Amino acid sequence: MLRIGLLALSACSLCAAQLIPRQVLFDNPQKSSARISPDGKLLAYRAPDGGVMNIWVRTLGRTDDHVVTSDRRQGVRSFFWQADSQHILFLQDTAGDENYHLFQTELATRSTRDLTPFEKVQAEIVAVEPTRPDEMLVALNRRSPRAKDVYRLNLKTGELALDTENPGDVRVWATDANLQVRAATAFRPDGSQEIRIRKDRNSAWSVFQTLGPEEMPGGAVAVSIEGKLWVISSAGANTSRLLSVDMETGASQEVAQDPEYDLTSVVIHPTTGAVQAVGVLKDRMHWKVRDKTVAPDFEALGQLGAAEMEIVSRDRADRKWIVTLERDDSSPAFYLYDRGSRKSELLFEMRPALAQYRLAKMRTVSFRARDGLALQGYLTMPLGLEKRAPTILLVHGGPYTRDRWGYHPLVQWLANRGYAVLQINYRGSLGYGKRFLNAGDREWGGKMHDDLIDGKRWAVERGFADPKRVAIFGGSYGGYAALVGLTFTPDEFVCGVDLAGVTNLITWRKAVPPSLAQLSALLDRRIGNPETDSELLRSRSPLFHAERIRVPLLVGHGANDPRVPKAEADQMVRAIRTHGGDVEYILFPDEGHGFAKPQNSRRFWAAMEAFLAKHLGGNAEPPSEVEKWEAFRQ
């Protein structure tokens, strides 16, 4: 173990936890993403092959595991079964450019073909139906980079035929059991959402509901075999709720709602399309069973322990489920659940090596912002230290997402190095209703940042955080927030880390990729219009306040980032150096928005670990040969 840094922690905190190697935390998991085949006979999962994540298959009940894909670049990140149980389908982009292609792998021959071999075209899965094993619906922006049309794909011949043309504003499609597009969610020029329905593929569209720009994100979810459309909507309520819509008459009724929190998850039967359970994410996930036939299953799965449970895969007969269990202080695990016996079998843990180490517990916290708004978040203290810990304010990206309870590798890594980790669901975060969401409108760098500072001060006042040793770190919006923290509130932090953060709201808004153009009006409302609100955006952009940075900053970025272009980081680093500031810049030429390659993530975390140890005084593991980042320094 290497101790780097000028500030020493107490002896008890240094000895409280064994140092967990970064390789254990951030290298490829041993296994992940288990999926059962539609016929219930095979299990597919992701695991390393030649150091790269590929898809493996084994017969349930046997140990005949074998790899079926042969990616040698950045690895397969998401996949699903074709309905014939003989092929695997997966999406893959190139070096983080987000131009995803759809690939098909045949299990018998292990051959893979590109089903959407088009340059600068994004593929998106619309629907796969168990009763139609040889076709599926896929959305492609071939005709226009701004909108994806729906194509019917013959999975035997590879033939693509236009099924439903996008009028230019649709972002989400919903289909029925006959693989027909029956509903669509569109974003209108004023930022509102329009939910449209039709009787069949040959019928005209009609508008079921319009959600104003102030409403929660919602839209069409799925169509049941009986012709009911399931819709998520906050119209007429503060929180998102589930509605059942009669596709013939357009009449709707409420199915599920929570008065304080948005509906987060909907469990739908894979063949009938019936709603079986809904999930509401409060401080933890709370499931409400709607279908009495699965109530004993949820009860049996609840006996596995205090963990977040999710059904991730089911066979066509609905007799076997693949379920994930996630705790805050252990590796996520995958189980095979048999509905007949109601027994669960552990398939694997993603990172079994973590069992050798003690992990920290994550606790829920709540407090009031300076204007009285109720805020929630999570605090993770390092083992053996409950007071005055050096602290990382870890800001989630989005910003229209939220932090949640569970296993978080970054949190465990930082806590293991001796830092308290504070995560705040600041105003504008999802999950707390539309009043909370709208409280963040035009507050980038304003009240959204005040919430973070109020959280930091709460932690100091309660004695958890050492006021002289607090850093701010985040990715994407969190990276922007870190830069705001060092420019707008320069006395609050001793250092900061920005990963893929926005630096100039004007240039960033003008560089929104075509695939996100439909959201422009909504972004105008949430953030500001670069043409009419340039003064506001300039005042909230860290770039124009670079001279205020008085503490060290670490910046990381991917050269191929389509969401926050590399120019955002370049101009900020240039401005800081012009004013004599202390900034280290690490650029990865083969990454996009975040890390796809574990060696790159480990390189950045190794650099960040040394940086934090130097300025906050925590523990640091010396970089391995794989983790050395000097070649990427700008």
415 belongs to a structural domain = yes
Contact 14, 418 (CB under 8 A): yes
- Domain assignment of residue 430, yes or no: yes
How many separate helices (H) and strands (E) can be counted in the chain?
Answer: 12, 35
The percent of the chain in helix, strand and coil, each rounded to the nearest 5, is 20, 35, 45
Q: Which residue in 77, 98, 244, 25 sits closest to 558, CA to CA?
A: 98
* Confidence grade of residue 158 (pLDDT, cut at 50, 70, 90): very high
Q: Clarify whether residues 401 and 491 are in a common domain.
A: yes
Last residue of a domain, one of 250, 266, 290: 290
Regarding whether 595 and 485 lie in a shared domain, the answer is yes
Structural domain of 246: 169-290
Q: What share of the chain in percent tops pLDDT 70?
A: 97
Domain count for the chain, please give it: 2
The predicted pLDDT at position 14 comes to 37
| Long-range contacts, stretch 248-251, CB < 8 angstroms, 24+ apart | 248/199, 250/197, 250/206, 250/208
Please report whether residue 107 resides in a domain.
no
Confidence check: pLDDT of 4 > 80: no
- Which tens digits make up the pLDDT trace of 235-250? 999 999 999 999 888 8
| pLDDT recorded at residue 170 | 94
270 & 363 share domain = no
User: Where a domain ends, among 231, 264, 290?
Assistant: 290
Q: Which of 205, 199, 202, 201 shows the shortest CA–CA distance to 185?
A: 205
Neighbours of 179 (CB within 10 A): 18
- What is the domain-level CATH number for residue 245? 2.120.10.30
Active-site position among 408, 557, 593, 615: 593
Domain end (from 249, 265, 290): 290
pLDDT surpassing 90 at residue 10 = no
pLDDT grade for 480, boundaries at 50, 70 and 90: very high
Given the residues 262, 297, 561, 601, select the one marked as catalytic. Answer: 561
For residue 474, is it within any domain? yes
Strand order in the sheet with 219-223: 219-223, 228-233, 241-246, 252-256
Q: Answer yes or no: is pLDDT of 15 > 70.
A: no
* H helix runs in 17-142, sequence order: 22-26
Transcribe 115-172 into DSSP letters. Answer: S---TT--EEEEE--TT-TTEEEEEEEEEETTEEEEEEEETTT--EEEEE---S-EEE
Is 27 noted as a catalytic residue in this protein? Answer: no
Chain-wide mean pLDDT for the chain?
93
Residue 284 tokens read as: 């933890």
Measure Cα distances from 599 to 70, 282, 501, 606, 626 in Å.
Answer: 19, 35, 21, 10, 7
281 shares its domain with 373: no
* Interatomic CA distance for residues 492 and 484, integer angstroms: 11
Q: Specify the DSSP element, H or E, that contains 493.
A: none
- Residue 349's alpha-carbon distances to 78, 309, 342, 498, 572, in angstroms, are 18, 14, 20, 31, 41
375 and 506 inside one domain: yes
If asked whether residues 227 and 367 sit together in one domain, one would say no
Q: Are residues 240 and 384 in the same domain?
A: no
Q: What is the pLDDT of residue 88?
A: 96
The helix (H) or strand (E) run that includes residue 299 is helix 295-302
pLDDT value at residue 9: 35
Q: Are residues 252 and 391 in the same domain?
A: no
593 is catalytic: yes
CATH of the domain at 513: 3.40.50.1820
Is position 607 within any domain?
yes
User: What's the mean pLDDT in 41-53?
Assistant: 95
Residue 48 falls inside a structural domain: no
* Mean pLDDT of the region 129-154: 94
End-to-end Cα, the chain, rounded Å = 28
Catalytic hit among 476, 515, 541, 601: 476
110 part of a folded domain: no
Nearest CA-CA partner of 187 in 198, 174, 172: 172
Q: d(Cα 419, Cα 380) in Å, to the nearest integer?
A: 9
Q: pLDDT by residue (tens digit) across 58-115?
A: 999 999 999 999 998 888 988 999 999 999 999 999 888 899 999 999 999 999 999 9
Could you tell me if residue 147 is inside a domain?
no
What SS3 class is residue 287?
Answer: strand
Active site residue 396: no
Q: How many CB atoms lie within 10 A of CB 162?
A: 12
Q: Does residue 200 or residue 565 have the better pLDDT?
A: 565
Please check whether residues 383 and 248 belong to one and the same domain. no
Together in a domain, 282 and 407: no
Q: Are residues 399 and 511 in the same domain?
A: yes
Q: Do residues 379 and 497 both lie within one domain?
A: yes
pLDDT at 17: 65
Tokens of 253: 């009724």
pLDDT at 7: 31
pLDDT for 381-439, tens place per residue?
Answer: 999 999 999 999 999 999 999 999 999 999 999 999 999 999 999 999 999 999 999 99
Cα 572 to Cα 575: distance, rounded to the nearest angstrom:
5
**Position 517 confidence tier, pLDDT thresholds 50, 70, 90:** confident
Name the token pair of 199. Answer: 């009787």
Alpha helices in 354-502 (DSSP H): 409-416, 434-438, 447-461, 477-488
Q: What is the DSSP letter of 577?
A: H
Q: What is the pTM of this model?
A: 0.94
Angle subtended at Cα 47 by Cα 43 and Cα 53, rounded to the nearest 5 degrees: 125
Cα–Cα distance for residue pair 523/95, rounded to 1 Å: 27
